[in-house]
Each structure stands twice: as C-alpha cells, then as structure tokens.
C-alpha cells in the first residue's frame, strides 16, 4: 500500500508515476566503509505505476516493490562531545528554527551550546524575544537533547559574533578542550567524524582550525580566514591566550567588518597563529543549485553551510537515513543497472552526458551553481576538478524523510508539468533486527 497522506502533504499532481524500493540494511563488523565514489545496485530503476491520489483514501494499492540487501559497518555510538563549547550569534526566532537540525548531530552528546541574541527593543517585541520566550526556546532545546543557554547582547551582530570568544571562555569547564563558533545554518554531518578530526590536534597547544571559502573571490575579499559558516575551532590554549586582546580587537570593525575576519586578524596579531585549513569544512558560498557538490560522491563533508539560504537542501531530512544505516551511508552514491544514480538522502538522477565523464573523470564535480561572472580557477583550489553542468539530466530530489521504528522512508520527487505527471520514488531503508 502507498501512504497517500504523505504524498498529499507534498502537494503533488492528482496522478503520480510512483515507484518504491526496499533496501534491507545489515550491519556487519566485517563490512567496511566504501572508499569508491560510486557503488553498484544490481537491479534497474524500479518500474513506475501511475496512481490516482484520491483525497478520500489514506492508502492506495501498490504492487510490487523490488528489494535489495546492503551491508554497512555498525553505527557508531552517540559521541561524547562534552568537551566542546559551541557559540553562535543569531536571533531568537532563527535559533528556534535551527534546533531540529542541531539536534541531529549535537543532541545527547553533552556539547554545550551558547547563543548571543539581540534584546527586545519594544514592548511588542518583548513578547516574542523577551525572557519568557528565551526560556521556551531553551526548554525546546532540552527536549531535543540539547544543552542550550541564551544570552542577550546590545552589540551589533558582527561584534556579538567576535565576542563569542569571551562568552565561551567564561563558560569553560575543566573538561573543556575546544571552543566552536558557527552560524545558525551550519550543519555537521557526523559528530564522531568531527571529534576524530579534533582529536588529531592537542588542545593544550595553540590551534585555529577552520575552512576557507570554496569561492576564490570571497578569499580575495576577506583573506585566508576560517569562514564562520564552515565552523571555526579554537583550542583551549589559544582561547586562554586571546582573552587580554579581545577588547582591543573589538574596535577593529572598520578594518575587519565581519566577525570571522576579525577573529582571524586578532588571533594572528595577538599570537601569531595562522589558520589550519581543513578542506572538509565547507562554507559553500554558492548560489542556486548546489546539486553538483552533494552528488559528487566525494568523502562525507564534516560541515556544510548556507543550506537554507543561498541554496535549499533540507539537511535534517538528508541526514535522517543515518538513523538506520549510520553516517557511513550519507550522500553515498549507487548506480542502478540502467544508469540512474542514487545519492543517498539527496537525489536520484540520470545524466544525459554520462559517457563524457565516467571513468577517470567520475570524481569531478558538476558545476551546477551560478555566478555573476567567470573567473578562471575560481573554485578549483577547493572543489576542482569541475565539469560543465548537464542541462538535460533527469533529477528527483529528496522532499521528505519519515523516521519510523527500525526504518526510514525517503520520498524523492521530480516535478512534472502540463504534459507530465509528478514522478515519485519512495525508498524504504529498513534495519535488520539481528545485526551480525
């Protein structure tokens, strides 16, 4: 049966071309995380069936969905991130809207979140941004497994952002090792993977870890700084050393107008420490269509940014499938026998120009995003090699992910037009009851 209620919620056409695939997930200690950019599914894309979505019916008959079994390493246990203090400057409404995405990677990890928000300026604003609302947001976070404390500040946004260095220092505990500064649309895809990267560095030494922008123009404008949306990591030793200089650096707003550029300048001036560039922290300063990045088949990013502003990728839904198959399966690619590609949690596509880039060029990134002007090598330092956009590829994007007991249902949709029904692929990832 097809759950018609879910499809009605997506506002699809009355008739849809629907297909379903069951993927049985078996966890095995002998299974290894794939290092290939693409794996193979030994079956063609499932046959579609045209369905009429009768609004009076909750379920619609459907038969018959193929099934495939895949092996993955056992999921990692919930990470202990109690040695992290995480700060962000935002507004209360934006913060509340971001909590569900924070909960995916930070929930129940012990990481402590601290947010600077502006105070209410009018009586009416006090109803939505006042102390009572702050307590509601903090309670909401607690229900999601997040430790969150919110403070108000009269400082301008970029000054608030910069002074997180002081705010987080005040909040440190004997167990604290790292201060993390991020944006409200920063998303870390795997806390265990992030912690492994930090464990490679000694927090008792001075470390400033971050990601450059993928756009050389942004680096030209702001310099080789740790761009805040990708996540900025300051070791406790460096955080301690920075404190006497913060009030002076706060006044550098005219020369360093953004909070992250001021952090970089202050660290360099006060301590001489330069950025340790982590290429897997992604600022993603790209507009429009970021599908080329997500469909690349490259190693799972540590972080992504701008996913609900400069482009749209519902990261909480993208990552939902990890509840069943673990972080190792996120954004992993499989190729069906008839040429369709599944990028798990993101899309199902069929390329028109596949023959032009398979083989040696299979790990290139399709340049799908737009830019106001061309600049040779603008993206190559971080994302290259690139290949041209395939204007004729067929694409079904993830629009919904429903987490149920032992399974996750993904709904991929290709929107139709006056002459074509919407096309839907539902993939049901189901965990075996008795993992090996």
For 144-166, how does the pLDDT look when each residue is reduced to its tens digit (9 = 90+)?
999 999 999 999 999 999 999 99
Going by pLDDT thresholds of 50, 70 and 90, the confidence category of residue 433 is low
Mean pLDDT computed over 261-265: 98
- Please tell me the predicted confidence (pLDDT) of residue 32: 77
Determine the pLDDT at residue 90. Answer: 96
Residue 29 burial (10 A CB sphere; 0-12, 13-18, 19+): exposed
Would you state the pLDDT for residue 379? 95
pLDDT at 34: 74
At residue 359, the pLDDT reads 66
pLDDT given for residue 315 in this prediction: 96
Whole-number average pLDDT of the chain: 92
Phi and psi at residue 25, to the nearest 5°: -95, 120
Query: Is 2 in contact with 18 (CB distance < 8 Å)?
Result: yes
**Neighbouring residues of 161: CB distance < 8 A, sequence distance ≥ 6:** 89, 116, 181, 228, 258, 259, 260
Share of the chain above pLDDT 70, in %: 97
The predicted pLDDT at position 329 comes to 93
pLDDT of residue 435: 52
Mean per-residue pLDDT, 200-222: 96
Q: Where does the pLDDT of residue 372 fall: very low under 50, low under 70, confident under 90, or very high at 90 and above?
A: confident
* Structural domains in the chain, sorted by start: 84-277 (3.90.550.50), 316-431 (no CATH)
pLDDT digits (tens, 9 = 90+) for 53-75: 877 777 788 888 999 999 999 88
CA gap 167, 243 in Å, rounded: 10
Of residues 59 and 76, which shows the higher confidence score? 76
Percent of the chain with pLDDT over 90: 78
Where does the pLDDT of residue 267 fall: very low under 50, low under 70, confident under 90, or very high at 90 and above?
A: very high
- What would you report as the CA-atom Rg of the chain, rounded to the nearest whole angstrom? 23
Q: What confidence tier does 360 reach under pLDDT thresholds 50, 70, 90?
A: low
At 145 the pLDDT is 98
pTM of the model: 0.94
Which burial class, exposed, middle or buried, applies to 374 when counting CB atoms under 10 A from its CB (0-12, 13-18, 19+)?
Answer: exposed
Is the pLDDT at 436 greater than 60? The verdict is no
Cβ atoms 430, 24 nearer than 8 A: yes
Q: Which range is least confidently modeled, 49-63, 293-307, 370-384?
A: 49-63
Does 246 have pLDDT greater than 90?
yes
């Amino acid at each position: 049966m097809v759950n018609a209620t879910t499809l009605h919620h997506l506002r699809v056409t009355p008739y849809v071309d629907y297909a379903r695939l069951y993927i049985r997930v078996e966890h095995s200690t002998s299974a290894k995380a794939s290092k290939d950019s693409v794996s193979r599914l030994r079956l063609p894309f499932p046959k579609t069936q045209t369905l009429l979505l009768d609004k009076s019916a909750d379920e619609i008959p459907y038969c018959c969905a193929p099934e495939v079994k895949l092996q993955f390493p056992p999921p990692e246990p919930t990470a202990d991130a109690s040695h992290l203090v995480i700060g962000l400057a935002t507004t209360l409404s934006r913060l509340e809207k971001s909590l569900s995405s924070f909960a995916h990677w930070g929930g129940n990890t012990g990481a402590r979140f601290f947010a600077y928000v502006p105070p209410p300026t009018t009586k009416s604003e006090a109803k939505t941004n006042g102390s009572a609302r702050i307590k509601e947001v903090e309670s909401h976070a607690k229900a999601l497994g997040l430790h969150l404390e919110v403070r108000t500040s009269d400082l301008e946004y970029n000054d608030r952002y910069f002074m997180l260095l002081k705010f987080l220092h005040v909040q440190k505990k004997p167990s604290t090792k790292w201060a993390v500064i991020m944006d409200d649309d920063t998303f870390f895809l795997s806390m265990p993977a992030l912690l492994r990267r930090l464990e490679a560095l000694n927090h008792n030494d001075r470390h400033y870890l971050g990601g450059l922008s993928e756009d050389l123009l942004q680096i030209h404008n702001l310099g080789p700084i740790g761009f805040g949306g990708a996540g900025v990591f300051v070791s406790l030793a460096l955080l301690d050393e920075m404190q006497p200089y913060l009030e002076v650096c706060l006044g550098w707003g005219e020369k360093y107008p953004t909070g992250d550029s001021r952090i970089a300048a202050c660290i360099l001036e006060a301590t001489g420490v330069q950025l340790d560039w982590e290429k897997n922290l992604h600022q993603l300063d790209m507009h429009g269509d970021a599908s080329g990045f997500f469909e690349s088949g490259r190693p799972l990013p540590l972080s992504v940014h701008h996913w609900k502003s400069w482009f749209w990728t519902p990261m909480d839904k993208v990552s939902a499938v990890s509840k069943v198959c673990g972080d190792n399966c996120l954004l992993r690619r499989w190729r069906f026998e008839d040429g369709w590609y599944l990028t798990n949690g993101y899309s199902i596509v069929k390329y028109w120009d596949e023959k032009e880039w398979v083989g040696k060029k299979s790990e290139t990134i399709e340049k799908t995003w737009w830019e106001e002007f061309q600049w040779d090598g603008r993206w190559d330092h971080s994302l290259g090699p690139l290949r041209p956009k395939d204007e004729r590829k067929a694409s079904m994007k993830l629009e919904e992910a429903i987490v149920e007991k032992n399974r996750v249902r993904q709904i991929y949709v290709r929107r139709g037009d006056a002459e074509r029904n919407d096309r839907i692929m539902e993939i049901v990832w189901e965990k075996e009851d008795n993992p090996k």
